[in-house]
């Protein structure tokens, strides 16, 4: 059988198909944002994309796959756009700066890609969280972990992991508040997130080289 070269999976996709996929993912992002993942219907996504339901299923086997692909692309974009933002950090960088930069970038990314938030606040039910959200979450968590390791090379891994999860949790909670406000209020909340994180990490990082004095002063808000 020398003449069925497409028998294997590689899926020679046409340009049109790629466009459709992008279209569908965009539509899915929009619908997920509007109605949440659980309540989003594949028909609604197809409608939003201006195609028939069948077309959607030509490219995705089910709703979850859409969310997964969306998450994957989001992660890729994040890596590309903010490249080494989360990469290990020069331990000499002041904590404030490191945290401030990371939060700013995250917030910017999330404002550009509101689905991110929708996907992270998984389809509810603590403990029975679906794949894609786990994936997003896990990826983010491990990146934060990496960052923390560069700041806290001597901390026990379990602690670093926990700290990373706490940071991510705080960030997500803060993001919700940030997105719920506009203008000055939003900026104020961004400041608060940074503040919470810095204050949380400070003692840990401070331990690196004996707690530097004056730290307290530096992070006391005036707002």
Partner DNA sequence: GATGAATGAGGATTCATTCAT
Partner DNA sequence: TATGAATGAATCCTCATTCAT
Q: Which residues bind a second copy (CB under 8 A)?
A: 1, 3-4, 6-7, 19, 23, 33-39, 49-51, 114, 117-118, 121-128, 159, 162-163, 165-166, 169-170, 172-174, 176-177, 179-180, 185, 188-189, 192-193, 195-196, 199-200, 202-204, 206-207, 211, 215-216, 219-221, 223
Contact of residue 144 among DNA, a second copy, none (CB under 5-8 Å per partner type):
none
As measured in angstroms, the least distance from the Cβ of 45 to DNA is 8
Verify binding: residue 33, DNA, rule CB under 7 A. Answer: no
Q: Which of residues 39-58 bind DNA (CB under 7 A)?
A: 39-44, 51-58
Contact of residue 42 among a second copy, DNA, none (CB under 5-8 Å per partner type):
DNA
Distance CA(95)–CA(34), nearest Å, equals 36
Whole-Å CA distances, 198 to 83, 105, 184:
22, 16, 21
Contact of residue 202 among DNA, a second copy, none (CB under 5-8 Å per partner type):
a second copy
Helices (H), the chain: 15-35, 42-49, 53-59, 63-81, 95-112, 115-120, 131-151, 157-180, 183-206, 215-219
Residue with tokens 């020679």: 12
Nearer to DNA, 53 or 212 (CB): 53
Verify binding: residue 4, DNA, rule CB under 7 A. Answer: yes
Verify binding: residue 32, DNA, rule CB under 7 A. Answer: no
Nearest to 187 by CA among 90, 66, 100: 100
Neighbours of 151 (CB within 10 A): 21
Q: Which of residues 58-87 bind DNA (CB under 7 A)?
A: 58-59, 61-63
Sign of CA dihedral 47, 52, 55, 61: positive
CB 132 within 8 Å of CB 112: no
Nearer to DNA, 61 or 214 (CB): 61
Neighbours of 64 (CB within 10 A): 14
Residue numbers of the site for DNA (CB under 7 A)?
A: 4, 6, 9, 11-14, 16-17, 20, 39-44, 51-59, 61-63
């Amino acid at each position: 059988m020398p003449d069925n070269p497409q028998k294997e999976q590689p899926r020679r996709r046409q340009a049109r198909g790629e466009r459709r996929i992008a279209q569908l993912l965009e539509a899915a992002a929009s619908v997920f944002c509007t109605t949440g993942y659980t309540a989003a219907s594949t028909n609604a996504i197809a409608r939003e994309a201006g195609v028939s339901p069948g077309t959607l299923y030509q490219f995705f086997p089910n709703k979850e796959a859409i969310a997964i692909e969306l998450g994957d692309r989001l992660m890729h974009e994040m890596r590309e756009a903010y490249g080494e933002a989360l990469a290990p950090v020069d331990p000499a960088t002041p904590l404030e700066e490191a945290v401030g930069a990371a939060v700013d970038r995250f917030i910017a990314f999330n404002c550009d890609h509101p689905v991110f938030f929708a996907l992270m606040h998984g389809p509810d039910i603590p403990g029975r969280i679906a794949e894609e959200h786990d994936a997003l979450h896990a990826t983010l968590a491990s990146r934060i972990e990496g960052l923390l390791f560069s700041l806290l090379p001597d901390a026990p891994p379990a602690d670093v992991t926990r700290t990373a999860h706490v940071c991510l949790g705080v960030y997500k909670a803060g993001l919700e508040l940030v997105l719920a406000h506009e203008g000055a209020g939003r900026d104020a909340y961004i400041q608060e997130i940074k503040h919470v994180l810095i204050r949380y990490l400070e003692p840990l990082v401070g331990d690196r080289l004996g707690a530097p004095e004056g730290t307290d002063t530096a992070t006391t808000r005036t707002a």
